[in-house]
Structure 1
């Protein structure tokens, strides 16, 4: 084989490799904006063909947490920022056939948070809960799809203990949320 043929083969291999990398990279899905987040969610097994409505997203350093509705069911997804600055999904959770759901992100972020995701059928206007001996109260807008973030109290424990949940409607009647 002559040097010219080796050069052509080498050049062809480089072009094919670069084209493969380009096409792979452009087809990879990231949660960099609302539109791409919906595409990522719809690409996950069990979420294909679901109606996705992004309600809120927050970034904490290299973590993005997004509250959304999946066919009206409360859900959230967690993304980790990769070395290229793109958000790659790492965890997803939904609560089917409910109007009011509480999620606790797997990644503990600057003082842990609870995430409440509601659809427009939720009657809950206020909630009280005991967390590690501290009474907390959170208000909500009933009958409105939303995400509410609750800062959990500081603790020296390795975990949180939740007890004595109480839910109230807009008229201050004690209710069951779902």
Structure 2
């Protein structure tokens, strides 16, 4: 997994150095989709590993881990929505500054979704393990899953704001 991220970072740096600016927006779309997908995969994998082991001792925790899985999938869906929004607004003839903003928008949303999904997966796994030990702790600690979920939501809102600001650079003289 870390080799994929390392390759993506190196590829992005090389592309930023040797490519025209118009490609930056499409690299932002690629990074948004890739980071959202990798984060969702890592989050759901950690949930599945812990829940499959702990459900042997107490089978009731299998259904209580659905919230973490839903949050990871919601992060992936917000990444796809951002990719579609970026792709639909980049077809115009825009100046270089707008393409930099599209790149940053895709990168921010992808990174926020990645970290939100990984944190949600780890937290849901820990909550499932604690629930297997003591069922009275579940409803007290499940509120903590809202915190990493809000990171993904903040990234999505930031991507929408950046996406709406980019076309305003088309009217400004360079």
Greater helix percent: which structure? 2
Q: Same fold (TM over 0.5)?
A: no
TM-score (normalizing by structure 2): 0.25
Q: Looking at both structures, which has the greater relative contact order when contacts are Cα pairs under 8 Å and sequence separation is at least 6?
A: 2
